[in-house]
Amino acid sequence: MPIIAPTIATTMIGAGAPFLLGPLYPSMTVAIANSVQIYTVGLVTVITTNVGIGPAGTGIGAIINSIMPILKSSLDSTFIANGMLGEHSPNLTRAIAIAVSSGLASAITLSPVLGVGVGTGIGKLVHPGPIPLLGLLTSQFFALGLVGEKTPLLAKAIAEGYTQFLDTLIVVHSIAGSPIPPTPGVVPSIGKII
């Protein structure tokens, strides 16, 4: 299943209940979900090392360690570092962590593989850092009328926490393609999250 903003937003709304039910909370979840989807699908790259036989194939895989407590811990630390110490900050980081980590856990990764037609691969996610996500979050917040004095700090805390979390993730691939000729290979590949 691809990373889908409406699924992330509705999961975040459910995960935030009963503490995060203010009139602007649904707009906030949409802004965060849209930003995470655009950033992850558009700017995050999958880099793998692949082992197997054959001339070429496609690596189809998943992120195997997208677990909520790691993302929550990352968000908690960046919220504190950015001065976001409100009474509902822990509830907000929990809701974001549940929604986003479950979205990533269900995501599919794809990579064309030249030099291995049948085999396996393991790799990491590479991203441009928090600045593009900060811009996406800020523009989404402002577009939806979330223009409080701490809005830029909230966007910065989320962007930093999410990109730190991406650095911890591992991708595994199964490679399917032509095994003929059956020559062994160890090759890198570059792909995307869909």
Tell me the pLDDT tens digit for each residue of 4-21: 999 999 999 999 988 998
CB-based burial of residue 87 (10 Å sphere; 0-12 exposed, 13-18 middle, 19+ buried)? exposed
Question: Is pLDDT of 1 > 60?
Answer: no
Question: If you average pLDDT over every residue of the chain, what do you get?
Answer: 94
Q: What is the dihedral of CA 42, 43, 48, 54, to 10 degrees?
A: 40
Convert the pLDDT of each residue in 121-178 to its tens digit: 999 999 999 999 999 999 999 999 999 999 999 999 999 999 999 999 999 999 999 8
Question: What ranges do the domains of the chain cover?
Answer: 5-193
Q: What is the dihedral of CA 110, 114, 116, 117, to 10 degrees?
A: 70
Model pLDDT, residue 158: 98
Model pLDDT, residue 2: 67
Task: Return the structure tokens found at 190.
Answer: 């570059």
Percent of the chain residues past pLDDT 70, beyond the cut: 99
> What residues have CB less than 8 Å from 152, skipping those under 6 apart?
138
Question: Is pLDDT of 69 > 90?
Answer: yes
Asked if 155 contacts 137 with a C-beta cutoff of 8 angstroms, the reply is: yes
Model pLDDT, residue 194: 86
Local structure of residue 175 (DSSP, 8 states): E
> What residues have CB less than 8 Å from 60, skipping those under 6 apart?
108, 109, 110, 173, 174, 175, 176
Task: Provide the residue count of the chain.
Answer: 194
